[in-house]
Amino acid sequence: MAAKVRVMLVDDEDHIRLFMRKVLATMQAEVVVEAANGKEAIELYRQHKPDITLMDINMPVMTGSDALKKLLDEFPDAFVIMLTSLNTADVVKECLIAGAQNYIRKDLPLPEIKKQIRETWAEYVKIKMAEKSVGEN
Protein backbone atom coordinates (compact mmCIF):
# COMPACT_ATOMS: atom_id res chain seq x y z
CA MET A 1 0.00 0.00 0.00
CA ALA A 2 1.32 3.44 -0.93
CA ALA A 3 2.34 5.70 1.91
CA LYS A 4 -0.06 8.50 2.73
CA VAL A 5 0.86 12.03 1.78
CA ARG A 6 1.62 14.05 4.91
CA VAL A 7 0.00 17.44 4.57
CA MET A 8 0.11 20.70 6.52
CA LEU A 9 -2.99 22.86 6.14
CA VAL A 10 -2.53 26.61 6.58
CA ASP A 11 -5.68 28.73 6.65
CA ASP A 12 -7.08 31.18 9.17
CA GLU A 13 -10.64 29.95 8.59
CA ASP A 14 -11.61 26.88 10.63
CA HIS A 15 -14.33 25.77 8.24
CA ILE A 16 -11.92 25.76 5.28
CA ARG A 17 -9.46 23.63 7.22
CA LEU A 18 -12.26 21.27 8.24
CA PHE A 19 -13.46 21.03 4.64
CA MET A 20 -9.98 20.40 3.25
CA ARG A 21 -9.28 17.84 5.96
CA LYS A 22 -12.34 15.88 4.80
CA VAL A 23 -11.36 16.26 1.15
CA LEU A 24 -7.79 15.12 1.77
CA ALA A 25 -8.98 12.12 3.76
CA THR A 26 -10.52 10.81 0.53
CA MET A 27 -7.19 11.17 -1.29
CA GLN A 28 -4.72 8.97 0.55
CA ALA A 29 -3.50 12.06 2.38
CA GLU A 30 -3.12 12.67 6.07
CA VAL A 31 -3.29 16.12 7.61
CA VAL A 32 -0.45 15.97 10.13
CA VAL A 33 -0.68 19.56 11.30
CA GLU A 34 -2.73 22.73 10.87
CA ALA A 35 -1.78 26.39 11.20
CA ALA A 36 -3.92 29.52 11.27
CA ASN A 37 -1.34 31.98 9.91
CA GLY A 38 2.00 32.14 8.15
CA LYS A 39 4.11 32.52 11.27
CA GLU A 40 2.55 29.50 12.91
CA ALA A 41 3.02 27.56 9.66
CA ILE A 42 6.79 28.12 9.68
CA GLU A 43 7.09 27.07 13.33
CA LEU A 44 4.99 23.95 12.77
CA TYR A 45 6.78 23.06 9.53
CA ARG A 46 10.07 22.85 11.47
CA GLN A 47 8.53 20.33 13.85
CA HIS A 48 6.53 18.17 11.43
CA LYS A 49 8.27 18.46 8.02
CA PRO A 50 5.14 17.65 5.99
CA ASP A 51 5.43 16.38 2.40
CA ILE A 52 3.11 19.05 1.07
CA THR A 53 1.82 22.32 2.48
CA LEU A 54 -1.49 23.80 1.40
CA MET A 55 -1.24 27.52 2.09
CA ASP A 56 -3.84 30.28 2.09
CA ILE A 57 -2.55 33.81 1.38
CA ASN A 58 -4.80 36.30 3.11
CA MET A 59 -4.16 35.59 6.79
CA PRO A 60 -3.46 37.63 9.93
CA VAL A 61 -0.01 37.92 11.59
CA MET A 62 1.86 36.76 8.46
CA THR A 63 0.46 36.31 4.96
CA GLY A 64 0.85 33.09 3.04
CA SER A 65 3.08 34.70 0.42
CA ASP A 66 5.49 36.00 3.09
CA ALA A 67 5.43 32.61 4.82
CA LEU A 68 6.12 30.87 1.50
CA LYS A 69 9.28 32.95 0.96
CA LYS A 70 10.54 32.43 4.51
CA LEU A 71 9.75 28.72 4.40
CA LEU A 72 11.62 28.22 1.13
CA ASP A 73 14.58 30.23 2.42
CA GLU A 74 14.88 27.80 5.29
CA PHE A 75 13.62 24.65 3.51
CA PRO A 76 14.28 24.93 -0.24
CA ASP A 77 12.75 21.47 -0.81
CA ALA A 78 9.40 22.39 0.75
CA PHE A 79 6.49 21.64 -1.56
CA VAL A 80 3.93 24.40 -1.19
CA ILE A 81 0.60 24.72 -2.97
CA MET A 82 -1.15 28.05 -2.65
CA LEU A 83 -4.88 27.51 -2.07
CA THR A 84 -6.54 30.89 -2.04
CA SER A 85 -9.36 33.12 -3.23
CA LEU A 86 -6.93 35.75 -4.52
CA ASN A 87 -6.44 35.79 -8.27
CA THR A 88 -4.66 39.03 -9.17
CA ALA A 89 -1.77 38.59 -11.57
CA ASP A 90 0.74 40.24 -9.22
CA VAL A 91 -0.01 37.87 -6.36
CA VAL A 92 -0.03 34.74 -8.54
CA LYS A 93 3.29 35.68 -10.16
CA GLU A 94 4.86 36.63 -6.80
CA CYS A 95 4.05 33.21 -5.36
CA LEU A 96 5.16 31.24 -8.42
CA ILE A 97 8.42 33.17 -8.70
CA ALA A 98 9.01 32.64 -4.97
CA GLY A 99 8.74 28.88 -5.59
CA ALA A 100 5.18 27.71 -5.00
CA GLN A 101 4.63 24.41 -6.82
CA ASN A 102 1.04 25.18 -7.69
CA TYR A 103 -1.53 27.93 -7.29
CA ILE A 104 -5.12 26.82 -6.89
CA ARG A 105 -8.13 29.06 -6.54
CA LYS A 106 -10.58 27.98 -3.85
CA ASP A 107 -13.52 28.53 -6.17
CA LEU A 108 -12.39 25.81 -8.57
CA PRO A 109 -14.77 22.84 -8.72
CA LEU A 110 -13.75 20.27 -6.11
CA PRO A 111 -12.78 17.52 -8.60
CA GLU A 112 -10.37 19.97 -10.24
CA ILE A 113 -8.86 21.00 -6.87
CA LYS A 114 -8.30 17.32 -6.11
CA LYS A 115 -6.83 16.69 -9.55
CA GLN A 116 -4.36 19.55 -9.18
CA ILE A 117 -3.31 18.46 -5.69
CA ARG A 118 -2.78 14.91 -7.04
CA GLU A 119 -0.66 16.24 -9.90
CA THR A 120 1.53 18.21 -7.52
CA TRP A 121 1.83 15.15 -5.28
CA ALA A 122 2.91 13.09 -8.32
CA GLU A 123 5.56 15.70 -9.07
CA TYR A 124 6.77 15.51 -5.46
CA VAL A 125 7.04 11.70 -5.68
CA LYS A 126 8.93 11.96 -8.99
CA ILE A 127 11.48 14.36 -7.50
CA LYS A 128 11.92 12.26 -4.35
CA MET A 129 12.41 9.08 -6.45
CA ALA A 130 15.02 10.86 -8.59
CA GLU A 131 16.85 12.07 -5.46
CA LYS A 132 16.79 8.56 -4.04
CA SER A 133 18.13 7.09 -7.26
CA VAL A 134 20.98 9.66 -7.36
CA GLY A 135 21.76 8.86 -3.72
CA GLU A 136 21.99 5.14 -4.45
CA ASN A 137 24.30 5.57 -7.47
Binding site for other proteins (CB under 8 A): 87-90, 92-93, 96-97, 101-103, 105, 108, 112, 123
Specify the residue, 28 or 87, whose C-beta has the smaller distance to other proteins: 87
Number of Cβ within a 10 Å radius of residue 121: 21
Asked whether the beta carbons of 77 and 54 are under 8 A apart, the reply is: no
| Whole-angstrom Cα Rg for the chain | 14
- 3-class secondary structure, 127: helix
Q: How far is the CB of 92 from other proteins (least distance, A)?
A: 6
Task: Find the shortest distance in angstroms from Cβ 44 to other proteins.
Answer: 25
Least spacing, CB of residue 47 vs other proteins, in Å: 28
